[in-house]
Structure 1
């Protein structure tokens, strides 16, 4: 009887011990699951931050509404590439006035992810006798009209006194909503004087005077990029910078490499000091430091094998 009782007690102890292990295991699994979910959510939040990091318009420029206006463009490839550039830099309203080419498959092909801009573009095809009046009607839809020109400045021609985009102070526009037209001329001759007359002012892209002529789509891309930088807060995204301990680990690994190469203590000190100067100036990221540690660690392993 006593033996049976002892056996039963022993079984209960074992059962209790196994139950305790199972509970502990379940708790650990639950904690690991929580950590896994936390890491997923954290990565999603970082991705969200990175995708929105360069798309924030500065508060003082929220009221500006830009439209790209092409006057008599002659090439469908240029039109398509302009749509692509507009998509790149966050512009969406395209107006094509009196196009001199078919806007078909070729334009769609070169618009890439800017196809929606092309599909929604407003195309105005006036009669020959209504050309100027139709253009004036279009221009009158805007509060400000900015022309473009690639020709050399002549101070006796006040119509072509030019400015650079960086010189424009958009913060001075204090109306609740400002519609701004960016007007680009033909590929071969640009905007005519009577068209420049309709603009409030004219901007120019600084180029080498040896060959100042730019392709239309390239000119549009440069102007839009200049505006993108001007009206938006641009950030590189979330970068985890290295800590002092991370860098000290790198220096220790590098010392091991130099030991295997039989560097003198003085030479090692100079190399470490130089590396500290470089990494200090560059505000190195944790990823960069880890890559260097991995590189020197592999070198150390190979050295020991030899």
Structure 2
């Protein structure tokens, strides 16, 4: 289960933070590290601060975009200290997030995403996520080092996993109820956007309208089977439009 939980670091500037994050991961039983365009990696500073977690660094993957890092994930949780206007589902408490992550990780990959040291995640990167999580802290100084944030969320995940294991409660979600991967959900969003334009519902660019509808389906958290039904419904509508293009 823990092997299905992926830590994603986006454009990390200081290589030492990558090493420290790897150490934080290993102490909590997490091994899957993905780096999105790190400034310097591999790097001696990362290796030094990883201490006994060099194996996590050696197995880390480097990718060119956040989309590539999370395309197969059924849940993508972006860590952000800032309030956003994007109406994504939000976890106010990390332990609530951890319980859901552990449930989803039983059958498919999930990701916890951390942004740049100074500026965090951009709005476009948050849009790649299915959920957001914040770490409660001193409102007058709530700034955490990157590896500290990784440690806190990794601890909560490990704690939720231990509770589940201690209780011998290994509920297996039915396959048809498994959440869709991020890639599958993006295809649905693209299909929906294309149909809205072809039908005349949107006659000119209305990013906010599409964003709100996408957030609606994100909050609804449809299963793979339900998303397939929605894709079928869109295709049925599309087939009745003039010069329709099926997707």
Give the TM-score normalised by structure 1: 0.49
Residues 225-244 of structure 1 mapped to structure 2, 5 A cutoff: 225-233=155-163
Are 1:177 and 2:101 matched, yes or no?
A: no
Aligned to 2:68: 137
For residues 28-177 of structure 1, what are the structure 2 equivalents within 5 Å?
62=1, 65-124=4-63, 126=64, 134-151=65-82, 153=83, 156-159=85-88, 161-168=90-97, 169-170=99-100, 173=103, 177=107
- 1:219 corresponds to which of 149, 153, 163: 149
Which is richer in helix?
Answer: 1
Distance 2:23 2:105 in 1: 30
CA distance in 1, matches of 2:58, 2:152: 23
Contact 1:64–1:177 (CA<8 Å) still a contact in 2?
no
Any conservation in 2 of the 1:147–1:196 contact (CA below 8 Å)?
A: yes
| Distance in structure 1 (CA, Å) of the matches to 2:162 and 2:70 | 26
Shift of 1:231: 1.3
Note if contact 2:102-2:157 (Cα within 8 Å) is conserved in structure 1. no
Question: Measured at CA, do residues 192 and 91 of structure 1 come closer, stay the same or move farther in structure 2, by a change above 3 Å?
Answer: same
Distance 1:66 1:227 in 2: 9
Q: How does 1:186-265 map to 2 (within 5 A)?
A: 186-233=116-163
Aligned-pair CA distance for 1:76: 1.1
Instruction: Compute the displacement of 1:143 (Å).
Output: 1.4
State how far apart, in whole Å, the 2-side matches of 1:87 and 1:135 are: 22
Q: CA deviation at 1:176?
A: 5.9
SS in 2 for 1:212: coil
Change (3 A) 1:141 1:174: closer
Larger-gyration structure (1/2)? 1
Shift of 1:135: 2.9
**Would the aligned equivalents of 1:89 and 1:224 in 2 still touch at CA under 8 Å?**
yes
1:136–1:228 distance in 2 versus 1, CA, 3 Å: same
Structure 2: state its 5+ residue gaps. Answer: 167-247
SS at match of 1:150: coil
Aligned length: 164
Partners in 1 of 2:44 and 2:109 — Cα distance? 31
Alignment of 1:12-31 (within 5 A): none
Superposed displacement of residue 65, structure 1: 1.2
For residues 104 and 111 of structure 2, the distance between their equivalents in structure 1, rounded to whole angstroms, comes to: 17
Deviation at 1:64, TM superposition (A): 7.0
Pairs within 5 Å for 1:269-284? none
Q: Are 1:80 and 1:107, in contact at CA under 8 Å, matched by a contact in 2?
A: yes
**Are the aligned partners of 1:159 and 1:193 in contact in 2 as well (CA < 8 Å)?**
no
SS at match of 2:4: strand
| Contact 1:164 1:205 (8 Å CA) reproduced | yes
Query: By how many angstroms is 1:164 displaced?
Result: 1.9
How big is the alpha-carbon RMSD for the aligned residues of Structure 1 and Structure 2?
Answer: 2.5
**Would you say the 8 A contact 1:69–1:184 is kept in 2?**
yes
Instruction: Label 1:85 to 1:181 Cα distance change in 2 as closer, same or farther (>3 A).
Output: same
TM-score by length of 2: 0.60
